[in-house]
Amino acid sequence: MNTVIIRPEGSLQILSQQEAQQLCDRSDQGLNELLRQCALAVLNTGNNEDDGLKLIERHPDFDIQVVSKGRGVQLHLTNPPQIAFVDGELMAGIKEHLFAVVRDLIYTRNDILASGRFDLADTYGITNAIFHQLRNANILKPNTTPDIVVCWGGHAIARHEYEYSKYVGYECGLRELNVCTGCGPGAMKGPMKGAAVGHSKQRHTSPRYIGLTEPGIIAAEAPNAIVNELVILPDIEKRLEAFVRVGHAIVVLPGGAGTMEELLYLLSILLHPDNAQLIFPLVLTGPKESAPYFNAVREFVITTLGETAWQKVTLLIDQPEKTAAHLKTQLQAVREQRKASSDAYYFNWQLKIPSELQHPFIPTHINMAALNLHPNQPSYQLASQLRCAFSGIVAGNVKAQGIRAISEFGPYLLRGDHTIMRAMDKLLATLVEQKRMKLGERPYNPCYRITNN
């Protein structure tokens, strides 16, 4: 049995005995199993696996314990994956990510969930909790102008799409724009890797590569090695809100069901009447070979949400330089609007996020079947319901709990208006045909079944 001992740095050196016990507690109320899963994902950085359940099953003997000593805290890793080590030493970046896991799990449990400081049933309370968690992770930087570009896209993308995502990141880096992604591989790693080269050429002294994740998906999208600021939010909804509160512009690269979930989440916000005058740049871009993908996305958005929704999007095919130049110009407009309204540059307080986008959607079979996928509602609400549908598909594809539910009860049932369901079926078929749904599974076995009411 191989045991490695590492010592956290900074404030984590002085975890209380209660916090150390929480991290070692294997009961349902304890944090050890969650710590084990998140730590295992971090230690597997670089491994092309997007099945959280398989990752856990492949390392049944891995364990992590937090030991409180007189002079501080030690992390004891038992049988850790060797991919995380070089000449027997844990890589510095992975060690930082591991410390971030400990920091965020403790803060979420004690300061967000158990403290009573935040009303998590209230819209403002949720946003305030996200603000405090980001501040605790030192993500919010005062006295800086808007320069954070959030890049969304799939981890299961073709090589030419990955190279294009690097090119986009490179052009952003040359303009000294910082990058925030879901922190995984593929279109989440490419922009960071490209930006690192662009930043280096400009001798940018404080580049930021922010990775936002959550416990349910971290095993499927382990933080890539370029991330230098990692935050683990409590759930997918708080992760998504953190993206749009911290980011100043969004770039959507080719992806699968998770990317559609993110796009629909943002469209739901931008379609809300209270955000009609807000400047929030949204660019869809990819190489010329990805044009069929974006055509399918465009057709789906227009069919389900209407032309007004698509007008919120700027589509730039095979134009990485123009994409970055457009973002630079738009970010100046964001700065001017924030300045005029006295809103913070580092956290978008003015953005109205509907409450249905803030409360966690649990993709059980009952909840998936109960989604209102009909046009008898405002477009921003329909976008929110469609977002939940794709969220469930992500869970059924890659999250351990979702995979177990599909194995036990069969595919999720999605039902609704004939036109909407036909559009969803067509888009999902395109994602499957283009091999965007799940790494390593050919042919893809759908975790959903679509029907019309």
Band (51; pLDDT cuts 50, 70, 90) = low
More confident residue, 19 or 353: 353
Please report the pLDDT score of residue 416 as a whole number.
95
Band (14; pLDDT cuts 50, 70, 90) = low
3-state secondary structure of 251: strand
Strands 448-452 and 249-252: unpaired
Same domain, 169 and 280: yes
Same domain, 164 and 309: yes
| H or E segment to which residue 196 belongs | helix 190-201
Token pair 């964001």 is found at: 334
More confident residue, 286 or 6: 286
- Residue 348 falls inside a structural domain: no
More confident residue, 53 or 420: 420
Among candidate residues 290, 309, 341, the one where a domain is terminated: 341
30-34, 87-91, 124-128, 141-145: which has the highest mean pLDDT? 124-128
Same domain, 361 and 385: yes
Nearest to 17 by CA among 68, 57, 91: 68
Same domain, 373 and 415: yes
- Residue 413 falls inside a structural domain: yes
- What range defines the domain where residue 252 resides? 143-341
- Residue 428 falls inside a structural domain: yes
- Residue 105 falls inside a structural domain: yes
3-state secondary structure of 178: strand
* Contacting residues for 401 by C-beta, under 8 A, at least 6 apart: 216, 395
Same domain, 329 and 392: no
Please report the pLDDT score of residue 192 as a whole number.
97
* Contacting residues for 183 by C-beta, under 8 A, at least 6 apart: 210, 211, 212, 213, 221, 223, 224, 227, 230
Mean pLDDT of 183-191: 92
> Is the model's pLDDT at 6 over the cut of 90?
no
Q: Are 353 and 265 in contact (CB under 8 A)?
A: no
- Residue 411 falls inside a structural domain: yes
CA distance 44 to 222: 7
Please report the pLDDT score of residue 10 as a whole number.
55
Q: What CATH number is given to the structural domain containing 37?
A: 3.30.1850.10
The percentage of the chain sitting over the pLDDT mark of 90, rounded to a whole number, equals 70
Q: Which long-range contacts (CB under 8 A, 24 or more apart) does 375-379 make?
A: 375/417, 375/419, 375/420, 378/271, 379/271, 379/305, 379/306, 379/308, 379/309
Q: What SS3 string covers 26-75?
A: CCCCCCHHHHHHHHHHHHCCCCCCCCHHHHHHHCCCCEEEEEEECCEEEE
| H or E segment to which residue 252 belongs | strand 249-252
Strands 249-252 and 148-152: parallel
Six token digits for residue 352: 């109205």
Total domains in the fold of the chain: 3
Tens digit of pLDDT for each residue in 361-385?
999 999 999 999 999 999 999 999 9
Same domain, 253 and 363: no
